Structure formats: C-alpha cells, structure tokens
C-alpha cells in the first residue's frame, strides 16, 4: 500500500474505545455518505443509527454471535433500502439499490476515517431483529450493519477476536481482478 490517503487508512478492526461520538462528528460522517453517487441520483439508502442506550441494546441483539465484539462500539448503524427506491434497468438487468448502498457505505466508512473513527461493516446479523430494533417497515431490506466508534486497543480483545485483527490484511493481486482490453483466457 503506497498511499497515505483515507482509502488505505480504512480498516475493519474490532476494538473500540467506549468514548461517545459527538453529534457534529457523526453528522459529518453521514454528510459524507449523503454525497455518494447513485443511479439516477435516487439515493435509495436509509441509515438507522442507534446511539441512545436502549436503542443500542436493541440493535446489539440483532448481531450474530461472531460479531459480539461490535457491542463495544458506541454507535451501531443499520443500512436499509428497498429495490423500488432505486433504478432497475432492462438493458443490463441490474437492480441498482444494493450497488448504490455500497457506494454510500464506502463514503460513510471513509468519512469516518477522516474523523479518526473506525466503521466496520457487518453482514452477520438477523434482519428481522434489526428491523424490530428500529421499528423499520417490513418491506425494507437490511443490507448491512456498521459498528462505529473510536478505535481501541486490539491487545485488550479476547484471544480469538485479537487473532483476527492481527492477521495481515490481504487482497487479490490486480492481475486477478483487472483486465486490460480483453477478458483473459485464464480467468
């Protein structure tokens, strides 16, 4: 990783400080998500933010056991959307709301980095419980949950979780995911 920018500082670790995220800081994080692009500027994303102790308790109950570490975060966000709020294109067959939510969530995560925060997107949660936690209308999909807070000391995590956070980060080499001019015969 050659750059010092926010794209390279962003990481999905699992240790949080208990410190609250001030209103103005959280507002700026959400403002970053707000300015994401989306197909036909539909902005199908909805963010349910649990911060009050009771709301946080309810949201935590939606997390899968493997994400118990996220209960240390002072903020939990459920990202919700419905297909009908985004574009569906006949000429390419794509239903864009999930893609659009990805664009906005990445902005959210990067805006968090700019504020010294760490956001960790999670797929391990029960959607029905997440909907219940926020009294969300049933027709929405809960696409991911995000823990958000100031990064903490990884060495204080339980052994199994710490091992995950100490593992070197990896990505496929560009040669496996980026093809110039023509799909390679080997891919």
User: Residues 117, 149: contact at Cβ < 8 Å?
Assistant: yes
Q: Applying CB under 8 A, does 103 fall inside the site for a second copy?
A: yes
Q: Applying CB under 8 A, does 25 fall inside the site for a second copy?
A: no
Nearer to a second copy, 68 or 156 (CB): 68
What is the rounded CA–CA span in Å between residue 164 and residue 14?
8
Site for a second copy (CB under 8 A): which residue of 27, 66, 139, 163? 27
Nearer to a second copy, 17 or 87 (CB): 87
Nearer to a second copy, 69 or 134 (CB): 134
Nearer to a second copy, 121 or 151 (CB): 121
Site for a second copy (CB under 8 A): which residue of 95, 154, 162, 164? 95
Q: Applying CB under 8 A, does 50 fall inside the site for a second copy?
A: yes
DSSP secondary structure of 1-42: ----SHHHH------B-SPPPPHHHHHHHHHHHHT---GGG-
Site for a second copy (CB under 8 A): which residue of 21, 25, 39, 112? 39
CB of 166 to a second copy, least distance (A): 15
Task: Return all residues near 123 (Cβ < 8 A) that are at least 6 apart.
Answer: 144
Q: Applying CB under 8 A, does 83 fall inside the site for a second copy?
A: no
Q: How distant, in Å, are the alpha carbons of 43, 45, 98 from that of 103?
A: 10, 10, 9
How many residues bind to a second copy according to rule CB under 8 A? 82
24 token code pair: 């103005």
User: Among 121, 76, 125, which Cα is nearest to 102's?
Assistant: 121
Q: Applying CB under 8 A, does 150 fall inside the site for a second copy?
A: no
């Amino acid at each position: 990783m050659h750059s010092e920018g926010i794209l390279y500082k962003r990481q999905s670790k699992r240790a949080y400080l208990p410190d609250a995220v001030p209103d103005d800081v959280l507002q700026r994080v959400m403002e970053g998500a707000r300015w994401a692009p989306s197909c036909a500027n539909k902005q199908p994303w909805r963010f349910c933010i649990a911060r009050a102790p009771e709301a946080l308790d309810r949201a935590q109950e939606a997390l899968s056991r493997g994400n118990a570490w996220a209960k240390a975060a002072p903020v939990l966000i459920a990202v919700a959307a419905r297909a009908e709020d985004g574009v569906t294109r006949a000429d390419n067959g794509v239903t864009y709301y999930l893609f659009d939510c990805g664009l906005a969530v990445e902005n959210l995560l990067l805006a968090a980095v700019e504020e010294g925060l760490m956001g960790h997107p999670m797929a391990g949660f029960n959607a029905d419980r997440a909907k219940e936690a926020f009294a969300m209308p049933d027709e929405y999909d809960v696409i991911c949950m995000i823990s958000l807070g100031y990064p903490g000391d990884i060495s204080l995590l339980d052994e199994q979780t710490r091992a995950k956070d100490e593992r070197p980060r990896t990505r496929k080499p560009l040669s496996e995911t980026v093809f110039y001019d023509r799909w390679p015969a080997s891919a």
